[in-house]
């Protein structure tokens, strides 16, 4: 969420930013919120004047009463009563205007970084760099669901009976490999000096509104019926929400955390669910990283964070690339974002396995996350990034380690988490 003062003083910049994000339907919001804010500020001034006048008259009444001038004092009391009613109406109007201004401000997108490429949607994202040599073997690699099924590790039919489409059972060594990746990601981030955390998997609506836009919330979140609770779509939601309303000591910055959680998403819209596979599902597990830092340090942390994901996948010998997200593909709170994509030798193309985002002070402003400096308090910057999300990470691992006989090699870094096992062999 932007600072209303910035919007007042820079309406053209805000409108140009909306155009760059191809959200022209939001252009009228800028003039509307400026007008409402002007009325709100005038209401505040008038209310303050009334309060000051009421205080002055109250003192005068006291003096008149002390002098025995009761009639004059009672006449002034009538003025105070009338002004009290007017003040109550002004206060009510101020609250209404504040709510309207806040609601509109939460719909106006954050100012994107000048380095962000301009494009309408994810088809115009820009490849920046590749890491590792993508290889295509001289033998066929089956669809990932078929690889897992051959290993005796997948039952989507039973999951359909218990939970419906978009869910799955992972079994045996495949389930163990899935958890090995998550456990290795945990230790990988701990070794990078991030503090490990397991957060709540449900959060209140005020935290949801603090960490994401309304459109994202409607598209992603599952609400618990009859409760002010939502299932998290990523642990970033509760991890950032942990600091809601806090004044953080500068000596404790930056805050670097890595968190494990299951994640729950509707996955509606144009992408839809995969009938057979595990690429787009309602439930998955993820190791995340978040950083809360000084504003001037956030871009440096952004670079460090996505590179950690690259290093993680390269330690598994999986080729990846960094893809810069264009303006139209950025969620409203983000100023800059990139995807890390893993190589799929079966499809002979890359697919998304992680996303890194700098949200500047957007989440901090919504949630009231501050630090105190020499010239007063200020909002901090927040960032988040995927270390690994499985089963997508599992898909990349299976395809890049699939052998002609149907077996799957286990990367050396994961073997200690698999009891020393070096290879998974087909069950049928």
pLDDT single digits (tens) 251-294:
999 999 999 999 999 986 545 566 678 999 999 999 999 999 99
In the prediction, which pLDDT does 61 show?
Answer: 65
Q: What is the CA radius of gyration of the chain?
A: 28
Contacts of 219 (CB under 8 A, 6+ apart): 266, 268, 269
Cα distance between residue 342 and residue 401, in whole Å: 13
**Residues in a beta bridge with 336:** 358
Model pTM score: 0.90
Contacts of 54 (CB under 8 A, 6+ apart): 80, 83, 84, 87
Q: Could you tell me how many residues make up the chain?
A: 428
pLDDT digits (tens, 9 = 90+) for 411-427: 999 999 999 999 999 98
In the prediction, which pLDDT does 232 show?
Answer: 96
Cα distance between residue 397 and residue 409, in whole Å: 9
pLDDT digits (tens, 9 = 90+) for 180-189: 999 999 999 9
Sheet holding 222-223, edge to edge: 202-203, 230-231, 222-223
Extract the tokens encoding 274.
């995969």
**Residues in a beta bridge with 388:** 287
In the prediction, which pLDDT does 215 show?
Answer: 75
Angle at 129 between CA 126 and CA 132, to 5 degrees: 135
Q: Which of 402, 343, 426, 391 is nearest to 140 (CA)?
A: 402
Q: What is the pLDDT along the chain (428 residues), one digit of tens a residue?
A: 899 999 999 999 999 999 999 999 999 999 999 999 999 999 999 888 887 777 676 666 666 666 666 666 566 666 666 677 778 888 899 999 999 999 999 999 999 999 999 999 999 999 999 999 999 999 999 999 999 999 999 999 999 999 999 999 999 999 999 999 999 999 999 999 999 999 999 999 999 999 988 777 888 899 999 999 999 999 999 999 999 999 999 999 999 999 999 999 998 654 556 667 899 999 999 999 999 999 999 999 999 999 999 999 999 999 999 999 999 999 999 999 999 999 999 999 999 999 999 999 999 999 999 999 888 999 999 999 999 999 999 999 999 999 999 999 999 999 999 999 999 999 86
In the prediction, which pLDDT does 272 show?
Answer: 57
**For 182-219, b where at least 16 C-beta lie within 10 A, e where not — what string?**
bebbbebbeebebeebebbbbbbeebbbbbbbeeebee
In the prediction, which pLDDT does 214 show?
Answer: 73
Domains, the chain, ranges and CATH? 4-105 (1.10.287.40), 122-424 (3.30.930.10)
In the prediction, which pLDDT does 186 show?
Answer: 98
Burial class (CB within 10 angstroms; exposed 0-12, middle 13-18, buried 19+) of 35? exposed
In the prediction, which pLDDT does 321 show?
Answer: 98
pLDDT digits (tens, 9 = 90+) for 88-133: 888 899 999 999 999 999 999 999 999 999 999 999 999 999 999 9
């Amino acid at each position: 969420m932007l600072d209303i003062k910035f919007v007042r003083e820079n309406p053209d910049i805000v409108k140009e930013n909306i155009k760059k994000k191809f959200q022209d339907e939001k252009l009228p919001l800028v003039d509307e919120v400026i007008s409402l804010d002007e009325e709100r500020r005038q209401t505040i001034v008038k209310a303050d004047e009334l309060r000051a006048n009421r205080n002055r008259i109250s003192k005068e009444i006291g003096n008149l009463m002390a002098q025995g001038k009761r009639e004059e004092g009672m006449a002034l009391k009538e003025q105070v009563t009338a002004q009290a009613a007017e003040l109550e109406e002004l206060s009510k109007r101020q609250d209404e205007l504040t709510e309207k201004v806040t609601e509109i401000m939460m719909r106006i997108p954050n100012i994107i970084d000048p380095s962000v490429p301009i494009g309408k949607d994810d088809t115009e994202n820009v490849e920046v760099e590749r890491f590792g040599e993508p290889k295509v073997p001289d033998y066929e690699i089956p669809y990932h669901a078929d690889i897992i099924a051959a290993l005796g590790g997948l039952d989507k039919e039973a999951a359909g009976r218990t939970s419906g489409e978009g869910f799955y059972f992972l079994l045996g060594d495949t389930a163990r490999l899935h958890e090995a990746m998550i456990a290795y990601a945990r230790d990988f981030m701990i070794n990078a000096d991030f503090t490990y955390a397991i957060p709540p998997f449900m959060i209140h609506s005020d935290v949801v509104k603090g960490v994401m836009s309304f459109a994202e919330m409607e598209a992603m979140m599952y609400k618990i019926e009859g409760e002010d609770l939502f299932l998290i779509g990523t642990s970033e939601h509760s991890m950032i929400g942990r600091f809601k309303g806090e004044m953080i000591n500068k000596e404790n910055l930056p805050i670097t955390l890595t968190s494990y959680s299951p994640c729950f998403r509707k996955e509606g819209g144009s992408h839809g669910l995969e009938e057979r596979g595990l690429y787009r599902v309602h439930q998955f597990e993820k190791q995340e990283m978040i950083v809360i830092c000084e504003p001037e340090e956030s871009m440096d942390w952004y670079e460090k964070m996505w590179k950690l994901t690259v290093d993680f996948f390269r330690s598994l010998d999986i080729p990846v690339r960094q893809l810069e997200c264009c303006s139209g593909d950025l969620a409203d709170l983000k100023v800059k974002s990139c995807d890390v994509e893993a190589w799929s030798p079966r499809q002979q193309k890359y697919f998304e396995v992680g996303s890194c985002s700098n949200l500047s002070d957007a989440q901090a402003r919504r949630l009231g996350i501050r630090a105190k400096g020499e010239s007063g308090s200020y909002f901090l910057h927040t960032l988040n990034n995927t270390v690994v999300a499985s089963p997508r990470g599992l898909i990349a691992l299976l395809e890049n380690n699939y052998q002609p006989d149907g077996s799957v090699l286990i990367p050396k870094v994961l073997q200690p988490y698999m009891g020393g096992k070096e290879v998974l062999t087909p069950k049928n």
